């Protein structure tokens, strides 16, 4: 037994503890619940992509790749950004492959921030951002997204401008956005770009849901706007594009100084990995458009299936323009907050969701919102809705 009077966890990380995803997944497993909490699909990606990975393994591609990633994948990423967004990147110096998009964001923050630097981000936010900012010794400065026209989340331009100080190092932007499902409009991006250029701020853009937009929403990379390529690190991954979240193949594209800063940190994190998966993704990116169109249509249907099912039982949801998630207001069910609601439905109805308050610095703002993942099979979503429909909403919750 370790005997010491010192706190073992670094002060930078004490506020985080176990992630809400781990907590709710463990509860879902104990209760044998349908897990709509974690955002991963329950079907595999394209058969040709999986076959390419097996072929790479059989061909002996099982040792370390280069730090920046296998050349084939860096070239494929460069081609993808050029053909889809007309943004050119040199595959040798302006593209880096990472262990998922989460590592790309973390390594960029570690490589770019000095202690005390401020990072502006939009709240609610993916919880890994806050932890990575803390590990970099930086300070997060949230700008609140609020339901606006027709329920779509928006930010106040004045609040964004006032969030910037002389200590602001960068803006971290996620679009399509997790958890709100918002796709930032071109006008909003132009405003963000003007703030970056006015104050000489770097941008990190998490674009992992870049192919998964609905209802005519258009994903516009911030780097594609005038003057922004030279100050933006664009991050994406294969996980959401190809439904292979366990492969953990991500990447970042940007000007050489930003990529060098990322790699300076990454070399002491994972260094590199996933060689056969990288080679498979290099092949997959050549057919990403066709596969993603089919995936987008399928997810659009499942979003609507879950949305209509939730609304029928008194759980109205906010519009979802992209990504994997619906956010539902729980107050009509008699619960004042989504934390108790999510625990209750897991224990009593056998359906797991995530309270959106976990994604806020100001949790009271999202206290009545629960996040449901719709990236599941139709029969799974139907079972979840059926279980919720028969839940005794006003009963006293007891542990399963």
- Is residue 388 within 8 Å of 349, Cβ to Cβ? yes
Structure tokens at 399: 């542990």
Which ranges of the chain would DSSP assign to H, the alpha helix? Answer: 20-31, 47-58, 71-85, 100-112, 127-135, 157-163, 186-199, 238-242, 256-266, 275-284, 288-312, 338-344, 378-389
Task: Inform me whether the pLDDT recorded for 387 exceeds 60.
Answer: yes
The pLDDT score that the predictor gives to residue 369 is 97
Task: Inform me whether the pLDDT recorded for 19 exceeds 80.
Answer: no
Task: Inform me whether the pLDDT recorded for 1 exceeds 70.
Answer: no
According to DSSP, the β-strands at 153-155 and 139-147 are: antiparallel
The pLDDT score that the predictor gives to residue 36 is 96
Query: Structural domains in the chain?
Result: 20-45+290-389 (3.90.1150.10), 63-286 (3.40.640.10)
Q: State the average pLDDT for the chain.
A: 94
Task: Inform me whether the pLDDT recorded for 149 exceeds 90.
Answer: no
337-381 pLDDT, tens digit each: 999 999 999 999 999 999 999 999 988 999 999 999 999 999 999
The pLDDT score that the predictor gives to residue 397 is 45
The pLDDT score that the predictor gives to residue 310 is 96
185-209 pLDDT, tens digit each: 999 999 999 999 999 999 999 999 9
Average pLDDT over every residue of 313-339: 94
127-142 pLDDT, tens digit each: 999 999 999 999 999 9
35 exposed, middle or buried (CB, 10 Å; 0-12, 13-18, 19+)?
A: buried
* Stronger pLDDT, 244 or 336, i.e. the higher one: 244
Distance CA 282, CA 288 (A): 10
The pLDDT score that the predictor gives to residue 396 is 46
The pLDDT score that the predictor gives to residue 11 is 85
pTM score of the predicted model:
0.95
Nearest-5° Cα angle at 138, 133 to 144: 65
């Amino acid at each position: 037994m370790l005997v010491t009077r010192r706190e073992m966890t670094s002060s930078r990380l004490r506020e985080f503890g176990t992630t809400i995803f781990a907590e709710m997944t463990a509860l879902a497993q104990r209760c044998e619940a349908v897990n709509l909490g974690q955002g991963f699909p329950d079907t595999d990606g394209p058969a040709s992509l999986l076959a390419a990975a097996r072929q790479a393994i059989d061909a002996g591609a099982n040792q370390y790749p280069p730090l920046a990633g296998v050349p084939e994948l860096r070239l494929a990423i460069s081609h993808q950004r050029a053909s889809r967004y007309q943004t050119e990147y040199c595959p040798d110096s302006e593209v880096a492959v990472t262990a998922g998009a989460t590592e790309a964001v973390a390594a960029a923050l570690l490589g770019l921030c000095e202690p005390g630097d401020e990072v502006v981000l939009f709240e609610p936010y993916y919880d890994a951002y806050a932890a990575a900012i803390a590990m970099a010794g930086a300070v997060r400065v949230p700008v609140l997204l609020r339901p606006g026209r027709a329920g779509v989340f928006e930010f106040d331009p004045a609040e964004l401008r006032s969030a910037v100080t002389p200590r602001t190092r960068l803006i971290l932007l996620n679009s399509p956005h997790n958890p709100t499902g918002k796709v930032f409009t071109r006008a909003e991006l132009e405003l963000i770009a003007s703030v970056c250029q006015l104050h000489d701020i770097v941008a990190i853009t998490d674009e992992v849901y870049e192919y998964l937009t609905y209802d005519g929403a258009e994903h516009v990379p911030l780097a594609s706007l005038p003057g922004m390529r030279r100050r933006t690190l664009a991050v994406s991954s294969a996980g959401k594009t190809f439904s292979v979240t366990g492969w953990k193949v991500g990447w970042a594209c940007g000007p050489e100084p930003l990529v060098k800063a990322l790699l300076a940190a990454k070399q002491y994190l994972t260094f590199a990995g996933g060689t056969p998966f990288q080679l498979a993704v290099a092949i997959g990116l050549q057919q990403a458009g066709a596969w993603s169109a089919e995936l987008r249509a399928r997810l659009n249907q499942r979003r609507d299936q879950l949305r209509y099912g939730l609304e029928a039982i008194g759980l109205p949801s906010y519009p979802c323009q992209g990504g994997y998630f619906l956010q539902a207001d729980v107050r009509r069910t008699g619960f004042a907050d989504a934390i108790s609601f999510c625990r209750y439905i897991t224990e009593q109805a056998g359906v797991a969701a995530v309270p959106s308050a976990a994604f806020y610095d100001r949790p009271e703002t999202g206290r009545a919102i629960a996040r449901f993942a719709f990236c599941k099979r139709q029969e799974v979503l139907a079972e979840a809705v059926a279980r919720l429909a028969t839940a005794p909403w006003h009963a006293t919750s007891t542990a399963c």
